[in-house]
Amino acid sequence: MDSKRQRDGAFLCFGILFIITFFMVSAEMGKGREVLEYSDFATHSSWAVGELKDPLYDKFFSYPVWHFMVRAVYTLLPAGRECAGALVTGLCIGTVAWLLFGFLWGQLKTRLSWGRICLLDIGLLLVTALYMPWFNTKVYLGQNSPTIWHNPTNMAVKPVALAAFLWFMKICGREEKGRWTDFAVLAVLLLLSCFIKPSFVQGFMPAAAVFLLIMLIKDRKRWFGFCCKTAASFLLPCIYFLIQYVAVFGENTGRGIGIAPFEVMKMDTRYPLVSILQAAAFPLFVFLAVGWKKAFKDRYMLFAGLFYGVSLLEAVLFIEVQEAASGNFEWALQLALFVLFAVTAVKFYQSDTKRAVRLAGNVLLGYHCLSGIFYYLQIIFWLPGQC
């Protein structure tokens, strides 16, 4: 019975997120030239089907998975470029919903009803920063978000990112008993994520290194072998990540990286620190409600917090010198925020908290969800671009 309810919930959430995403991408690509100038879907999909020959976009060769999938659909089905892009992206986000439901069900089936887990799954794929127009007129720009709708490769890497995070946490539970095949699976997931978009490993691998260092300090004998196997699983993804770095920022590319704290955020927000709080309000509330010491004893919470912290530092510090406004160092932060929301939501609903605390958390998460729904509707009906 439990397996049937899990399967039904996973497919229900898959279907809903597929429809939501398909409609969003179709609307975004179908409003005309003005919208397409702001959305990354036009450039990526045009390159995918061979319509865009500009050498500026040859960097896509280093992370071509979404593009190849779109080209395959475009070639095999009687669908245009826009429909192919919407179909592939809808399948990617639907897969995230399916994977996330499995995680939520395994952790919360004794705490929440089937319907509430379905709503939580859908909500976690819509949440965005708290919309406070008295601070920022834009929902996403300046604050960042666990949910973005304008970049196909970051949306496409999301299911692989979630799978890699959950797999790493699973094998961490085995510690010294971890088999080489477990680490081979991790290596494949990380390498695949690089081929889709390198942003995930940009935040994940440094966070994993810090996490394992903490574990080594706590119990060197227990964790030393695990750390060596993890390092081996990181080798190929790390090499390919460096190849991608050279392809995008190499000597002859005309692109470079600088350090300019908060410079990118200040382009869209007058209050960077407030914007950080707007984006991560619910997770930070959970850390406070559960208690920092207790929270960090939970490996999921510890690693999700480190992943978020590393990615936030990258987004705050680094700037792409020739294209600062693109915010290309924020992609890892968006993925880290998504993981952080998922993990802290599980911890919140697993914990026995006071009634007032539970009410406050529900209201805060609901505010994030309503802000995300407003963001979605705003893009479709009111704004000419993705932000």
Contact 180, 202 (CB under 8 A): no
Residue with tokens 């006071």: 354
Q: Which two tokens stand for residue 106?
A: 């395994």
**Report field, pTM of the whole predicted structure over 0.85:** yes
- Residues 244-254: pLDDT tens digits? 888 877 767 66
Sorted by sequence, the CB contacts under 8 Å of residue 193 that are 6+ apart come out as 157, 160, 161, 164, 200, 201, 237
DSSP string, 30-42: SS-HHHHHH-HHH
**pLDDT above 70 (res 34):** no
Residue with tokens 């429809």: 19
Cα-Cα end-to-end distance for the chain: 43
Helices marked H in the chain — which ranges? 2-29, 33-38, 40-48, 65-76, 81-108, 114-124, 152-172, 180-196, 199-218, 220-249, 263-266, 272-279, 281-290, 292-296, 299-317, 331-350, 355-381
CA-to-CA dists, residue 336 to 141, 235, 344, angstroms:
17, 22, 12
CA distance 72 to 185: 26
CA distance 79 to 97: 25
Higher-pLDDT residue of 308 and 55 is 308
Q: What is the pLDDT of residue 201?
A: 95
Residue with tokens 């809903």: 16
Mark 57-74 as b/e (b = at least 16 C-beta within 10 Å).
Answer: eebbebbebbbebbbebb
**Residues 351-370: what's their mean pLDDT?**
93
CA distance 304 to 298: 10
- Count the neighbouring beta carbons within 10 Å of the beta carbon of residue 1: 5
Q: What is the pLDDT of residue 255?
A: 74
Helix (H) / strand (E) element for 259: namely strand 257-259
- Residues 271-291: pLDDT tens digits? 999 999 999 999 999 999 988
**pLDDT above 50 (res 36):** no
User: What's the whole-number average pLDDT of the chain?
Assistant: 89
Q: Which of 128, 30, 86 is nearest to 387 (CA)?
A: 128
CA-to-CA dists, residue 199 to 19, 127, 328, 333, angstroms:
26, 20, 9, 9
Q: What is the pLDDT of residue 141?
A: 86
**Residues 262-271: what's their mean pLDDT?**
87
- Residues 289-344: pLDDT tens digits? 988 788 888 899 999 999 999 999 999 998 887 776 677 889 999 999 999 999 99
The residues facing 257 across adjacent strands are 320
Contact 179, 225 (CB under 8 A): no
Q: How far is CA 231 from the centre of its chain?
A: 23
Q: What is the pLDDT of residue 120?
A: 97
Inter-helix orientation angle 2-29/114-124, to 10°: 30
**What amino acid is encoded at 122 in this protein?**
I
Q: What is the pLDDT of residue 303?
A: 96
Q: How is the chain split into domains, by residue range?
A: 2-381
- Residues 166-225: pLDDT tens digits? 999 999 876 556 688 999 999 999 999 999 999 999 999 999 999 999 988 888 888 888
Q: What is the pLDDT of residue 290?
A: 86
**Residues 251-266: what's their mean pLDDT?**
80
